[in-house]
Amino acid sequence: MAIALLSAVCAPAMAQKWKPVEDQNKARQDEPVVERVPVRYRVIATDLRINRRSLGESTHSIRGVPAEPVDALTYDGQGHTRLKGEAVIEVDPVHQRGLVFARWQDDHGAWQLQQTYFHHPEHSSGVRLGRSRKDVEDLLNLGIARNVYIHGDTGGGTPVLPTVFAYLATWGFVEVDLDGELFPNSFGWPGPERWIGHTMLTEGVIDDSDGTVRAIAGEIYDPKRHKSQGEVDRQDMELHIAFHDERYPLTENRPAMFAFKIHLIFEDVVLHIVDTQEPLDFSQAEAILESMRPTLGSDGL
C-alpha cells in the first residue's frame, strides 16, 4: 500500500520531469509575466530659507553675487533669510535618472536651477545598516541614493552638517540661471556652464525658526567637535538643494573647500512615490507648481 501511494505521488513529478522539451517551452510561454514597473520619488517643496552671509568686503563675485568671503551655512543662524521659492524633484533610483527643478527669488534677482545628469560623488553616497545592526554598508557609485545616513561621521560627504538620515540624496551637474541668463562657474571644473549639485531630503537638521544647527547638548554645531552629535528632529522633513564649484584650494569661505556655494533649505515638503513609466520633463514640473499655486500661496513664486 505504501508503495502504491508513493507511486501515485511520484508519478506526476516524474511525468513533469520527463516532459518533452517543446512541451516545457510551451508551459513557460503560458506562465504569467511579471513586469517591473519603475517607481519614482517625486518631491514638491516650498517655504524656502537660505543661510548665507558675507564675512567681509567681497574679494570675488559672480554677476554681483558675493563669492568670497562668505559663510554659506551659518550654523548660528546669522544670515538666515526666508525667500520665495519652490522645487520639484522626480527621480528613478533604480535606473539612476530623473530631474531636479528649482526656482527662487532673492535680492540678486530670479534664479532657476535644472538638473538631468546624475553622477556619483567622489566620496561614498552614504551608509545604511546591512544584515545586522553591527553591519554597516557603504554605498558607492550612486548618483541617487535612498534611505541613507550622510554627512557627519559617515564618510558620505564632509561634516558640513551632522550625521542625518536622508530619505533621498542626489549628486550630479546642474545648470543655473539668474534673471534668465546663465550664472557661470568661473572657478573651473565642471564649468563654465555647469556646477556641482547636491540634494538631500532629510530629517530636520536646521531649525526653521532661527536657522541654527545645534549639537545634542544645545550648543551651536561645530563640525570639528559635533559631527556625530548633531540635534535632529525626526518629526520634521527638509529638502536641501545646494550647488558649488569643485573643491578649490582653501578659501576664506565657510566651508573653506568651495570658492562659491549656495545652500537652499525648503521646510514645506511633500514626498510622493509615483508608479509610472512616464518621467517628468521640465515643462511638466513647472505645470505641477502652477497647478499648486493656490496651495503654495505666498511661499511660491
> Is residue 10 one of the residues assigned to a domain?
no
Answer yes or no: is pLDDT of 39 > 90.
no
Question: Given a cut of 80, is residue 37 above it in pLDDT?
Answer: no
CA distance 229 to 236: 18
Asked whether residue 12 is assigned to any structural domain, the reply reads no
Residues 148-205 pLDDT 10s: 999 999 999 999 999 999 999 999 999 999 999 999 999 988 989 999 999 999 999 9
Evaluate if residue 85 carries a pLDDT over 90.
yes
Rounded CA separation 188/213 (Å): 31
3-state secondary structure 180-217: CEECCCCCCCCCCCCEEEEEEEEEECCCCCCCECEECC
Once rounded to an integer, what is the mean pLDDT over residues 52-61?
96
Structural domain includes residue 34: no
Residue 279's pLDDT band, with cuts at 50, 70 and 90, is: confident
Distance of alpha carbon 269 from alpha carbon 235, whole angstroms: 12
User: Which of the pair, 297 or 170, is modelled with greater confidence?
Assistant: 170
Question: To the nearest whole number, what is the mean pLDDT of the chain?
Answer: 87
- The residue-averaged pLDDT of 85-104 equals 97
Q: Which residue has the cell 530623473?
A: 98
Q: How far is CA 239 from the centre of its chain?
A: 8
Average pLDDT over residues 116-133: 92
Q: Is residue 3 part of a domain?
A: no
> What pTM was estimated for this model as a whole?
0.85
**Tens-digit pLDDT profile for residues 214-224:** 999 999 999 99
Does the residue 118 lie in any domain? yes
In a domain, 32, yes or no: no
Whether 9 has a pLDDT exceeding 50, the answer reads no
> The domain containing residue 57 runs over which residues?
40-299
**Helices marked H in the chain:** 2-17, 21-30, 282-291, 293-296
Query: Cell triple for residue 54?
Result: 558675507
User: Is the pLDDT reported for residue 1 higher than 50?
Assistant: no
Report yes or no: 126 and 139 within 8 Å, Cβ to Cβ.
yes
Q: Phi-psi category of 155—alpha, beta or left, where left has phi over 0 and alpha has psi -120 to 50?
A: left
Model confidence at 90, pLDDT cuts 50, 70, 90, reads very high
Domain count for the chain: 1
Per-residue pLDDT, 70: 97
Does residue 5 form part of some domain? no
pLDDT band at 225 (very low <50, low <70, confident <90, very high): very high
Rounded CA gap, 159 and 157, in Å?
Answer: 7
Question: What is residue 132's predicted lDDT score, i.e. its pLDDT?
Answer: 86
Domain assignment present for residue 6? The answer is: no
Distance CA 223, CA 259 (A): 19
DSSP 199: E
The grid cell for 248 is 578649490
